[in-house]
Amino acid sequence: MLQCDILLLGEYFFDQIFTGMPEFPELGREVYASDLTTTGGAMFITAAALTRLGAKVGWPACFGDDAYSQFVRDLAVREGIDLTLARSLPHPYRRVTTSIPLEGERAFVTYADPQVPDRDDHWLASMERCHFAHLHLGSLMPGAAMELLTTAARQKGTTVSSDCQDGPHLKDPQACREAVRLVDIFMPNAREAQIIAETTDMRHVLARLLELTPLVVIKDGANGAWVGRRGGEVLHAPAVCVGPAVDTTGAGDCFNAGFLYGYIVERAPLERCLLYGNICGGLSVTAVGGATAAPTRAELAIWLDRIAARQAQAAALPGQEG
């Protein structure tokens, strides 16, 4: 029986990222990038980032016999991600995203083979083969599947978190709100949160989402992150500047890893968890690929010390000027 801190339910993606674009492509014209990076995406990023921090994770991913699947599987093995629960399919299972970052934004083109028909059964069986403290879902799944998975987690006495992920489900905010009711922690980005809450003011967004779930964490890019607890505090933490932004692909997945490591593994206060998330998300954008620059626990400690020193220096300045 596998023992882990966090069980991760979500798909792999093969990310190919074109960087150094002089301009965005136009129809009928060819544009050359200066570099191309291939790496793992989606739940691979959270799994790799949590593993680097020292968390024990289980990831019942599905990999096909195609080159894209095998590339990410091999990368996961090199990262030390536990694939005891992973499943090898006797056919291709291609999940490929092309990302084009430019001037702080990015565009995506994605192809994914149809979902494995019995994927949810595989995930449920994996939950029975694992002792875990927390279940993290890579995306909202409005409908019966999400209720089935969260119910199984509750029966094992564990808490559940979920990212949102951009997708067709956002076209039905009411269905998304019903899905949010099933989790203990909801972790969307600001745009996703505003769509689901059907309002734009961030405090109103938090208030509406907290009617659905006990804890809401909203990733707001360069504006930092928000966390609200039902009936309690609402905190905002500014983004952590750790270097120039190179590629924002997967930064939210890396943030999730930092926050969940603090909240589940270290049982740290919410303010500390936000700081962990902001550091991990901030470091993510300094390299191409979501998990490329994800920190180890030792590297996280170095950044915590640097930030504390900056804060102490900033607090001392007014007194010195006087």
Delimit the domains of the chain by residue range: 2-22+33-311
Does 312 have pLDDT greater than 90? no
For residue 45, CA distances in Å to 200, 245, 262 come to: 29, 18, 17
Residue 48 and residue 79 in contact, taking contact as beta carbons nearer than 8 Å = yes
Phi first, then psi: what are they for 44, rounded to 5°? Answer: -55, -40
In percent, the amount of the chain with pLDDT more than 70 equals: 98
Q: What is the pLDDT of residue 321?
A: 46
Give the pLDDT confidence of 34-92 residue by residue, as tens digits.
Answer: 999 999 999 999 999 999 999 999 999 999 999 999 999 999 999 999 999 999 999 99
Between residues 299 and 318, which one has the greater pLDDT?
Answer: 299
Provide the 3-class DSSP secondary structure of residue 40.
strand
Q: What is the pLDDT of residue 232?
A: 84
310's CB contacts (< 8 A; 6+ apart) are: none
| pLDDT band, residue 289 (cuts 50/70/90) | very high
Q: Give the span between the Cα atoms of 40 and 279, in whole angstroms.
A: 20
Does 166 have pLDDT greater than 90? no
- Chain-wide mean pLDDT for the chain? 93
CATH superfamily, region 2-22+33-311: Ribokinase (3.40.1190.20)
Q: Is the dihedral of CA 55, 146, 98, 63 positive or negative?
A: positive
Q: Which residue has the tokens 């030792």?
A: 298
pTM of the predicted structure, to 2 decimals: 0.94
Does 113 have pLDDT greater than 70? yes
Q: What is the pLDDT of residue 74?
A: 98
Give the pLDDT confidence of 22-42 residue by residue, as tens digits.
Answer: 888 889 999 999 999 999 999
**Beta carbons within 10 angstroms of residue 1's beta carbon:** 7
Q: What is the pLDDT of residue 319?
A: 56
Q: Give the span between the Cα atoms of 243 and 176, in whole angstroms.
A: 35
Does 322 have pLDDT greater than 50? no
Q: What is the pLDDT of residue 204?
A: 94
196's CB contacts (< 8 A; 6+ apart) are: 164, 170, 173, 176, 177, 180, 188, 209
Lowest-pLDDT range of 169-183, 229-243, 286-300: 229-243
